[in-house]
Structure 1
Amino acid sequence: MRLPTGPRPSRSRFFAVMAWVALAVSVAGFSKTFFLPLAQGTFVPLPAAYVHGALMFSWVLLFALQATLIGARAHGLHRRLGWLGVLLAIAVAWSTVAIGMQGVQRDVAAGLGPSATSGIVGSCTAMLGFLLLVAAAVHQRRRPDVHRRLMLIATIALLWPAWLRFRHLFPAVPFPEWVFAVIAADSLLLVMAWHDWRTLGRVHPVTLWLGGALVADHVFETLAFDSAGWRVVADFLVRVLD
């Protein structure tokens, strides 16, 4: 009689590897605009920058640790740390909107005109999507195949600013908003789809529909950013949040 052996090791390892890749992207993306200036004493931050940076990197590090714990079958510790992750997700969302508003105030003071408020839209919509994905993952925590994919997509969604900052590492690359913030940022979703196809024989519905929605969001945001309609929404959000 063939006994069940649990999840295939390759499946468990995949999500752990992807989590550590996410951490590497975060460090590399912010190396030239955060880590190196910080080490050189030339970093001039917004007031919330240190708190926001600590929270964001804590999330990615916790996600990597959680995926590694599952691979090591440390399920009890994984569950206990999961509730810390819920609080951390809320703090990440709060700090992202807070630093977004500080960026608006800085850009208004610098005289950037109507474009000064545009960045707040992406901050708010990204955090709304992130929190919804995390909430769905918590709700589906007894379905590992769904839970792990929701958490990975939520983390991939957080990496967008890090990917965009790759333009500072490769300034000669044309159209960085497309190359880094869409193509590179969504490449991890394609890797997820490939993994699904290889291990399941199909693309998992979570990867297909929610990963596809994230790609659509990135494309729409890149096309619509700083348009007249975008500025209307941005000005409304600034009035609400100010």
Structure 2
Amino acid sequence: MANSWAKDRANAFYMGMAGLSVAAVLAGFSTTYFFPGVRGTLGIPWVAHVHGWLAMGWVVLLTTQVLLVRAGKTRLHRRIGWMGLPLALSIWASSVPLGRWVAARDLPEQGGFAYAAFAGTLISLTLFLTLVIAAFALRSRPDWHKRLILLATIVLLWPAYFRFRHFLPFVPRPEITLALLLADLPILVAAIRDRVRFGRVHPAWAIVGSAVFVEQVAEIAAFESGITATLGEALFALFD
């Protein structure tokens, strides 16, 4: 298998995925971060800025890494790549105080929904961090490494897609149509691309990608059943 996947280097597909990630962040957060920031109407704590720019840093790093591979600068790609692990850890760590601040802000109006959102944020970013750690553990397997990094990025970016609801208010159930189906569509596209290019779908997409989608569907089900709200309340108290 290693030989057949070895052809999958410096391909335009990865540049396209990186470009899509940048576009999703810029478009999704334009209405809730970038434009209000320019107008001076954000009103958010410093940790929100830190978390946001760390997440944007991940997308910039992804794009840089793809460009380096396309330029044939593999050695530099590997050296810079080590920045990804502490960056992912920082993104996860900054989500805890930020998520708690958001929950405390929304509790008076949203009640259990605010707790559930806090739990959902931590679950999602724990999944992101787990995928990043797995990708780094498999750096010697480039076919796995690059696909796990892309999967981690897809998981990280669902909040950007969810914010598309601000300029697509007619879309029903945005937590499903935007934050789940649209956000995870790149997994299906990548699997189809593998099937066309290699005649089979890489296990990273077929197995791990499917597991990611199932986990996110389970999150939505738990969210609507109230289980996530109970968990979120416990986490809210734990991180007090």
Which whole-Å CA distance do the structure 1 matches of 2:86 and 2:180 have between them? 29
State the match for 1:232 in structure 2: 230
Q: Determine if contact 2:10/2:66 at 8 Å carries over to the other structure.
A: no
Q: Determine if contact 2:9/2:69 at 8 Å carries over to the other structure.
A: no
State the match for 1:49 in structure 2: 48
After superposition, residues 13-162 of structure 1 pair within 5 angstroms as: 13-108=12-107, 110-162=108-160
Q: CA deviation at 1:47?
A: 3.6
User: Where in structure 1 are there 5+ consecutive unaligned residues?
Assistant: none
- Aligned AA for 1:34? Y
Which whole-Å CA distance do the structure 2 matches of 1:152 and 1:114 have between them? 32
State the match for 1:207 in structure 2: 205
State the match for 1:193 in structure 2: 191
Which digits, 9 at most, give the CA deviation of each residue in 1:31-65, with x for residues without a partner?
11111111122222234111111101000110111
Q: Determine if contact 1:12/1:70 at 8 Å carries over to the other structure.
A: no
Q: Determine if contact 2:120/2:219 at 8 Å carries over to the other structure.
A: yes
Q: CA deviation at 1:83?
A: 1.1
Which digits, 9 at most, give the CA deviation of each residue in 1:185-242, with x for residues without a partner?
1111111101111111111001111111111122222222153322221111112222
**132, 152, 167: which one pairs with 1:169?**
167
After TM superposition, the runs of 4+ consecutive aligned structure 1 residues lying more than 6 A away are: none
Which whole-Å CA distance do the structure 2 matches of 1:197 and 1:142 have between them? 23
Which whole-Å CA distance do the structure 1 matches of 2:188 and 2:10 have between them? 16
Which whole-Å CA distance do the structure 2 matches of 1:100 and 1:198 have between them? 41
Q: What is the TM-score with the length of structure 2 in the denominator?
A: 0.93
Q: Determine if contact 1:156/1:188 at 8 Å carries over to the other structure.
A: yes
Q: For 1:165, what is the secondary structure of its paired residue?
A: helix
Q: Determine if contact 1:164/1:180 at 8 Å carries over to the other structure.
A: yes
Q: What is the TM-score with the length of structure 1 in the denominator?
A: 0.92
Identity rate, percent: 39
Considering only aligned residues, what root-mean-square deviation do their CA atoms show, in Å? 1.8
**178, 181, 187: which one pairs with 1:180?**
178
User: Where in structure 2 are there 5+ consecutive unaligned residues?
Assistant: none
